[in-house]
Amino acid sequence: MKKILIANRAEIARRIIRTCNRLGIETVAIHSEADGDLPYVSEATEAVLIGPNPVVQSYLQIEKIVEEAKKRGVDAIHPGYGLLSENADFARKVAEAGMTFIGPSSDIIEKMGDKIESRRTMIQAGVPVVPGTEEGVTTLEEALQEAAGIGYPLMLKASAGGGGIGMVRCESEQALTQQFVSVKNRAKAYFGDDVVYLEKFIADARHIEVQIFGDHHGNVVHLYERNCSVQRRNQKVIEESPSPDLPQDVRERLYEAALQAGKAVNYTNAGTVEFIVDPNNEFYFLEMNTRLQVEHPVTEEVTGLDLVEWQLTVADGGELPPQDSIQTKGHAIEYRVYAEDPKTFFPSPGTLEKLQWGEGARIETGYEEGNQVTPFYDPMISKVIIHGTDRIDALSKSQTFFDHVTIEGVKTNIPLFKEFIRSEEFISGDYATAVLPEWMEKTKEEHTL
């Protein structure tokens, strides 16, 4: 592999360029009009203006991206995360154009992207799955009938959904009736597919996922787990590895189930098997993400590996190392710094007038001081990853770090981190997915956000 095009933007584009530079691989960056001044554009070997600001007119322009890649003689395309990273049509077109798609095959993406199909596949493979409907539900009458069998509360979800979009918790028949058409409409608008299904709601659950990798020689390995239970609006905010408060035998059963899931679909490249774990440590498969994830640095910090390099190696036909050669050391925590109001979570686009990070953390950011954080894309401006000898050390380093960060020009969730990481709820390590909203509600009179 001599030259790759990165079909993405900002932080992840910059991250991929860094590994490519180290390996002597040339890079082609694509960018919209709004992103022309971001650092990744000048850091790539070549840059192409792909279109206007809305993603549908730029970063989601499949034909145009493939055409540019061919014109520039690239060997492979890295999709990053989000955008086209789990678009089977894109993966297929890249392969048809004679280039390598750095990710799994289009068939795997298709199978795992359809949540109903992926649930069915995992049931057949013997992986525990959240109880729910085995087919999509098309009418409200059908949904109410199925729901009576599953019981309330339950989750109404879009089969093609992701990123916390297209899923709603329903407490009762009345709530399901109210939400049914709305979720179908949102699913259609966001994912082009209005198929929905029902899943039992598992109370007080932790969101724990296992990083896996597969190669083209039939090997599948796991790279341990990440706890992603600190969320707002069903989207991750803080991730850590290893997961605190998880018995070792449960941890090992999770790895086994993740490998079982990967082997069931002959998985290749980087993937993540997401589970929910209930208070009794019973776990259930949620979904498989067929890409590198935002939180991959957590795994990199504890394993000492470069997962982007692994992706390139596997895509190029290389073989994975044996499972027992992959070890972990210490504890890592990742914080997603969003340009948003720390209290309301409302977006806060603007100019980064000041951006001073300080020492003691790995910073993965797509922005520099003076850049615009525009309203067109995701609010994430940076990831802060802190590694410690153990969780106490990582927490202590986190507290010191956030006390010395200065960001001006946009609101961020850093004030929230400063208070939350000192809370008993987070420090205990014994927390479920509702921890952040519950803590905010409990402390609303006290905090100074």
Partner 1 sequence: MKELKASMAGTVLNVLAAEGQAVTPGQAVLTIESMKMEIPVEAEFGGKVEKIHVEVGGFVNEGDLLMTVGE
Residues of this chain that interact with partner 1 (CB under 8 A) are 54, 339-340, 346-349, 374-379
Give 203 or 346: the residue with its C-beta nearer to partner 1.
Answer: 346
Q: In the complex, what is the shortest distance from the CB of residue 333 to partner 1, in angstroms, rounded to a whole number?
A: 24
253 is catalytic: no
Q: In the complex, what is the shortest distance from the CB of residue 178 to partner 1, in angstroms, rounded to a whole number?
A: 16
Q: In the complex, what is the shortest distance from the CB of residue 80 to partner 1, in angstroms, rounded to a whole number?
A: 15
Give 246 or 373: the residue with its C-beta nearer to partner 1.
Answer: 373
Q: In the complex, what is the shortest distance from the CB of residue 33 to partner 1, in angstroms, rounded to a whole number?
A: 12
Exactly one of 9, 14, 119, 291 is catalytic; which is it?
291
Q: In the complex, what is the shortest distance from the CB of residue 233 to partner 1, in angstroms, rounded to a whole number?
A: 8
Give 73 or 437: the residue with its C-beta nearer to partner 1.
Answer: 437
Do residues 106 and 34 touch, judged by C-beta distance below 8 A?
no
Angle at 401 between CA 397 and CA 402, to 5 degrees: 125
Give 31 or 222: the residue with its C-beta nearer to partner 1.
Answer: 31
Give 246 or 380: the residue with its C-beta nearer to partner 1.
Answer: 380
Q: Could you list the active site residues?
A: 291
